[in-house]
Each structure stands twice: as structure tokens, then as C-alpha cells.
Amino acid sequence: MTRRLNKEAIPVKSANTTGTKLLEMRKQHLSPVTVTAVFDSYWNFACERQNVFFRRLDGQPGPWSTDPIIAQHKFTNAYRASDRVSQFLIRDVIYRDDLPSSAEEVLFRTLLFKLFNKIETWKLLEHSLGEVTYKAYSFDLYDRVLSQAMRSGGRIYSAAYIMPPGGGAFGHTAKHQNHLRLLERMMADGLARKLAKTQKMQTAFELLKSYPTIGDFLAYQFVTDINYSEVTDFSEMDFVVPGPGARDGLRKCFSNGAGLNEAELIRLMVDNQEQEFSRLGIEFHSLWGRRLQLIDCQNLFCEVDKYARVAHPDIAGISGRSRIKQKFAPTGPLLSPWYPPKWGINQKVEASLNRLQSGNSDAKKDNKSRFRMHSSLTTES
């Protein structure tokens, strides 16, 4: 089943501009964009995954979805910044009142955390070394702690994505040693100062990509994480780079992109999210008034690729993968979320959660009505 989208009727913006410059449309003889059944699943998935986030915040008992695929398998949040690791990075690594707040120190902490992308590794370093600062950094000390963890059978890297080993660039046999050297080079180059001077996210992306072992995917992930801090201040609508999983999702959603490249198709989704939710008759509860951004829609393509392996096994992607590897296992109740202050939504989050807690004091209120109350607050501007 395919559905045609009239490309000429849809204002498409360049995914790699500031978002204000309209993209010159492709040749007029190109056919309209056509989509598969996965396209509608993309929007339904985004809505339901966001509902799961709010239901868990409400303290409702699981399962948190009637969709068996979402209920049984692990998927990231609709908004990247709501994910557990992103929340830890924002709250416990970047915005720390007890640690230095200079751009250099914040960048050091951010990159150190993201090179391993594992909360337990950060906690190990803090427990073993005390304050994690660039001023007190020592290769030998950090190497000793990480090497001992590995000898004890611990895992110091997240399985979310694979970090290239970097032996060819830095000469060490242990991957973590090469990554510490990479971090040293970035800091010695004055990367924090250079990033602070950049006006465009793409410029910062190219700067990060210029370092050994950092390709397109990692550079885009890193610049997004750095941009949670005050080191840079880019709009998340400035720039997008689709990763391998997102490309799979794009292939499954669009049977004909009508000449638009992958980044432009992601921009198409962002620009038309309200219309698509309305068309499907579903109510999407945004992040306290914050629309899905380019990074979010990029991530959603990666997640819908996995979702479609079960929901639409007849629609092929690029990788040929046919099953979802990870099952969902909750790590405990969700902490109250906290986002980069420059987004201007933390007061809304706090106010809505306070109202929720007040409502929960009445034990006679059922979970459904409490979710409806809280969801209405997410649309406040």
C-alpha cells in the first residue's frame, strides 16, 4: 500500500540550513513523494511512545502500552533528551553546581561521558577519582581505573553505538586508552573555544568530524550533546545527519522520495508533524510545548525501522534485519525530567508535575483520568 504526498503543496525546508530558508524544489517533472504503510506507523509509534513516557511519569503500573510491540521491546523516547542517558548527561554531567562551569570544563565532561556513553562508567570514575575535571585529569589515573574495571569483567562502553577502536590513530591496544588520547587532543586544540565561536551547527559538526575515528554519525551525536550545554547555542532545527538506522527507517517509510535527499525527508516530517497527527486523528502530547525537532525525527526513523520489523515484515529496509534484539525491562520509576534551561520548559515541567502529585493525593482518582489531566498540561505554551 502506498500513499502519495503532493510535494508541491508541502513547504519543504533545507534540513541543513537555519530552517528559515526554503529549499528550492526539485525539478517540476519529478513525481510526488509516495509513502508506504510504515509512514503512518511512524506517527502512531511517535504518539504511543510519548504516551508511555507520560504514563510512567504518572506512576501508572505497567504495562504502559496496549501495543504489544512497544510493550515488549525496548525503544528510545520520542524526544531524545528524555532518554535515561541524555537525562543523566544533562543533569549529572553538564549542569553541576559543584563542578567548574567554564566552557573548557563542561566540554571535557561532556565528551568524556559520551565517549563511553555509559552512566556506570561515569559513576565509576567519580567514585574512584573524586571530582571529574580537566584541571585534575591524568591519563595514567583514568587508564588505571578503566583498565581495572575491564580486568574485573566490567563493561565500560554502552551498547547503544560502536566506538571505533582508534588504534591506528593513537597506537594503543586498548580502545579506552585511544579514546582518552582523542579527548586529550581535542582539549589541547582548544576545541571548547573553537566551538563557542561557531555560528552554525554544521560548522561545529565538521569541526568534530575532523578528529580521528569521528565519522558523520558520532559527530552529529556529539554536537547534539554538546549543544545541551551553554558551550554552544544552536537550534536543533539547524542541521541533521541521518544515521544508519534512520536510513533504514526512511527506506521503509518512503517508496519514492521524489528527488528529496534523506535530510530533506526528515525536515519534511518535522515541518508537517501537526498535519500528519491531525490527519490520523491522534493527539500527540508534545514536550511541554516543544515540537519534535530534527534530531527527534531522525531518531524516530531509527526506532520505526525496528518497529516495522515486526509490524511490517514485508517492507524491507537496507540492513535486512528482521527482529528486534532488545526486550523492554524497566529500570525503575522515572525521575522528574529536567532539560537544558535555554529551552525554557523546566518551569512548565515542574508546574505540571506538582499538579500531578497534588491530584495523586486523591487515591480515588483513577489512572486514566490522571493521565488525561497531565497530558493536557504538556500542550501548554
**Amino acid 333: pLDDT:** 82
pLDDT digits (tens, 9 = 90+) for 196-249: 999 999 999 999 999 999 999 999 999 999 999 999 999 999 999 999 999 999
**Amino acid 379: pLDDT:** 46
Looking at the predicted structure, is the pLDDT value of residue 71 above 50? yes
**Amino acid 360: pLDDT:** 67
- Region 121-139 average pLDDT: 98
**Is the model more confident about 15 or about 188?**
188
- Where is average pLDDT lowest: 31-35, 188-192, 253-257, 312-316? 31-35
**Amino acid 31: pLDDT:** 61
- Region 178-190 average pLDDT: 98
Looking at the predicted structure, is the pLDDT value of residue 117 above 70? yes
**Amino acid 1: pLDDT:** 52
**Amino acid 27: pLDDT:** 39
**Amino acid 240: pLDDT:** 98
What's the pLDDT band for 10 if we cut at 50, 70, 90?
A: very low
pLDDT digits (tens, 9 = 90+) for 340-378: 999 999 999 999 998 887 776 554 455 455 455 455 455
pLDDT digits (tens, 9 = 90+) for 140-163: 999 999 999 999 999 999 987 788
**Amino acid 45: pLDDT:** 98
pLDDT digits (tens, 9 = 90+) for 40-62: 999 999 999 999 999 999 989 98
**Amino acid 329: pLDDT:** 84
> What is the overall mean pLDDT for the chain?
89
Looking at the predicted structure, is the pLDDT value of residue 2 above 60? no
**Amino acid 20: pLDDT:** 39
Looking at the predicted structure, is the pLDDT value of residue 91 above 90? yes
- Region 266-281 average pLDDT: 97
The 3-class SS string of the chain reads CEEEECHHHCCCECCCCCCCCECCCCCCCCCCEEEEHHHHHHHHHHHHHHHHHHHHHCCCCCCCCCCHHHHHECCCCCCHHHCHHHHHHHHHHHCCCCCCCCHHHHHHHHHHHHHHCCHHHHHHHHHHHCCCCCCCCCHHHHHHHHHHHHHCCCCCCCCCCCCCCCHHHHCCCCHHHHHHHHHHHHHHCCHHHHHHHCCCHHHHHHHHHCCCCCCHHHHHHHHHHHCCCCCCCCCCCCCCCCCHHHHHHHHHHEEECCCCCHHHHHHHHHHCHHHHHHHHCCCCCCECCECCCHHHHHHHHHHHHHHHHHHCCCCCCCCCCCCCCCECCCCCCCCCCCCCHHHCCHHHHHHHHHHHHHHHCCCCCCHHHHHHHHHHHCCCC
- Region 248-272 average pLDDT: 96
**Amino acid 22: pLDDT:** 38
**Amino acid 319: pLDDT:** 84
- Region 186-191 average pLDDT: 98
Percent of the chain scored above 70 by pLDDT? 86
**Is the model more confident about 90 or about 12?**
90
**Amino acid 114: pLDDT:** 98
